[in-house]
Amino acid sequence: MEKHHDLPKHFPGNESDVLALPIFKQEDSSLPPENETKNPPFQYVLCAATSPAVKLHDETLTYLNQGQSYEVRMLDNRKPGELPELNNKMVKSIVRVVFHDRRLQYTEHQQLEGWKWNRPGDRLLDIDIPMSVGIVEPKTHPSQLNAAEFLWDMNKRTSVFVQVHCISTEFTPRKHGGEKGVPFRIQIDTFALGDGGEYTEHLHSASCQIKVFKPKGADRKQKTDREKMEKRTAQEKEKYQPSYDTTILSEVSVQPTDFTTMRLNSGSHGNSEVSLLPTHQEKVQSLQLSPAATIQETQKWLLKNRFNSYTRLFSNFSGSDLLKLTRDDLVQICGPADGIRLFNALKSRSVRPRLTLYVCQESPQESPLAERHGTSENGEHSISSSLHVYHALYLEELTAAELIRKMACVCSLPLGKINQVYRQGPTGIHILLSDQMVYNLPDESSYLISTVKGKSKTVYFGKKQAQNNP
């Protein structure tokens, strides 16, 4: 007979001290009871212990060994009568490993390309198919090294075993030893069959924070954390969460627009391609909370920005209510670490581009980078004063690929039709565009760009100057 274990629930900790603060005394009676909170329709349980060295209101952290298979139990958590349309039907889940730090999310493409270059032929995440139970049609795609998908029946026991092959220190800048590994997230998104016959109807998302070590490293780290906690006083221990045998993935609130790029386009082998993170614009928008946000929108913002532990605490706060709190208020309510993090998130603005360039497209009749010279009434040499309209290119990445992509939009050219991009240098020579060149371009420079037609187009650009050497 199969033995069932009760799975521990993760609570944010004892909130009585926080609720006793004067600012919240009048709010106590209006907080919803625990038994009235809405349960998610699914629950995902990672069978790996959480770290004991995590403070009460912080998100759990779980240590994994590189390449080791870890079970993730896929559980039907619906109440009786909830979502009856899913009865006796398959659902699709996509499991992926992504960056936890927002700084790395903005450079995800370069980080993953660098990892692929150093580890050719390897994947960041795999499914251990022989050990998995109840999954159907497991698939991976060669272009999505950190994602895998599978179908499963909610009425049957389902466990998927995942392996994470990247370690946290591989994405840490190399210093003089003692590098601190970056945290990752394991996220699972589940979809139902939509009207078009594809699994595009988003049902649920959840994730948890992990760190990945070389083989046996996670066990040593867990032991070290446990020994450190044993040396603390009883009063200090009260500030930390206990270690749980399993990790419950916390529900992630997502908007439908987050999955507009997550369409499951069938490849040549029927595999799926997914966007691993929202677009840059969506990420910037998720950082900002509007003063006009309703209570429900504020709750979604807190969840989306990983302040899950405080959704109940701020359950009656609108956007303007939350934005009125000072830094000291938030530190007093949430503690120094989360209080400062929440304050920074509330006051955040769009990320400043690393390089801004201004470009003007020459008309097709003109030769590449040609400048019209003339003589003014007083005999001085001058450039024609015909009107040029410039476009601003904002680069978040100092790479040739990023600049080419931005110029392709200005020139209304398909990216695949651009053959080469040159910059006109001294004495009119053509210099092939490279990452090093982009890195050394002066900020807020202005350039003229033109294209030469052929089987594929060649793009020229050069700095606009009042001399013959552009």
What does the pLDDT look like over 214-238, one tens digit per residue? 999 999 999 999 999 999 998 998 8
The confidence band for 35, taking pLDDT boundaries of 50, 70 and 90, is: very low
The most confident of the ranges 329-333, 365-369, 388-392 is: 329-333
Q: Is the pTM of this model over 0.85?
A: no
Least confident of 26-30, 59-63, 318-322, 424-428: 26-30
Position with higher pLDDT, 32 vs 396: 396
Share of the chain above pLDDT 70, in %: 73
What is the chain's mean pLDDT, rounded? 76
User: For 85-89, 308-312, 379-383, which range has the lowest pLDDT when averaged over its residues?
Assistant: 379-383
- pLDDT at residue 20 tops 60: no
Alpha carbon separation from 424 to 91, 116, 370, 428, 449 (Å, rounded)? 55, 33, 11, 6, 10
What is the model's pLDDT at position 51? 95
Q: pLDDT-derived band of residue 60, with 50, 70 and 90 as boundaries? A: very high
Q: Which percentage of the chain shows pLDDT scores above 90?
A: 27
Q: Which residue has the higher pLDDT, 131 or 305?
A: 131
For residue 7, pLDDT over 50 is answered with no
pLDDT for the residue 185: 94
Instruction: Give the amino acid at 385.
Output: S
**Given a cut of 90, is residue 114 above it in pLDDT?**
no
CATH of domain 355-364+388-462: 3.10.20
The pLDDT of residue 274 is above 70: no
Q: How confident is the model at residue 323 (pLDDT cuts 50, 70, 90)?
A: confident
Does the pLDDT at position 207 exceed 80? yes
pLDDT band (50, 70, 90) for residue 393: confident
Choice between 408 and 140, residue whose per-residue pLDDT is larger: 140
Pair type for strands 457-463 and 445-452: antiparallel
Instruction: Look at residue 91 in the predicted model and tell me its pLDDT.
Output: 93
Q: Which long-range contacts (CB under 8 A, 24 or more apart) does 82-90 make?
A: 82/41, 83/41, 83/203, 85/192, 86/41, 86/154, 86/192, 86/203, 87/154, 87/155, 88/155, 89/153, 89/154, 89/192, 89/193, 90/136, 90/151, 90/152, 90/153, 90/193
Task: Give the residue with greater pLDDT, 365 vs 235.
Answer: 235
Position 283 scores a pLDDT of 40
Query: Which pLDDT belongs to residue 309?
Result: 80
Domains of the chain, residue spans: 42-255, 295-347, 355-364+388-462
Three-state secondary structure along 289-347?
CCCCCCHHHHHHHHHHCCCHHHCCCCCCCCHHHHHHCCHHHHHHHHCHHHHHHHHHHHC
The answer to whether 82 and 42 are in contact (CB under 8 A) is no
Judged against a pLDDT cut of 50, whether residue 291 lies above it is answered with yes
DSSP per-residue codes, 378-392:
TS-EEE-------EE
Distance CA 166, CA 184 (A): 10
Q: Which of 6, 122, 12 is nearest to 73 (CA)?
A: 6
Domain with residues 42-255, CATH architecture:
Sandwich (2.60)
- 207 and 184 Cβ atoms separated by less than 8 Å: no
What pLDDT, on a 0 to 100 scale, did the predictor assign at position 445? 85
Average confidence (pLDDT) over 133-143: 91
In the predicted model, what is the mean pLDDT of residues 239-266? Answer: 66
Give the C-alpha separation, 448 to 451, whole Å: 11
State the DSSP string of 423-465. EE-GGG-EEE--HHHHHTSPTTEEEEEEEE-SSSEEEEEEE--
CA 396 to each of CA 359, 406, 444: distance values in angstroms, whole numbers, following the listed order: 17, 11, 14
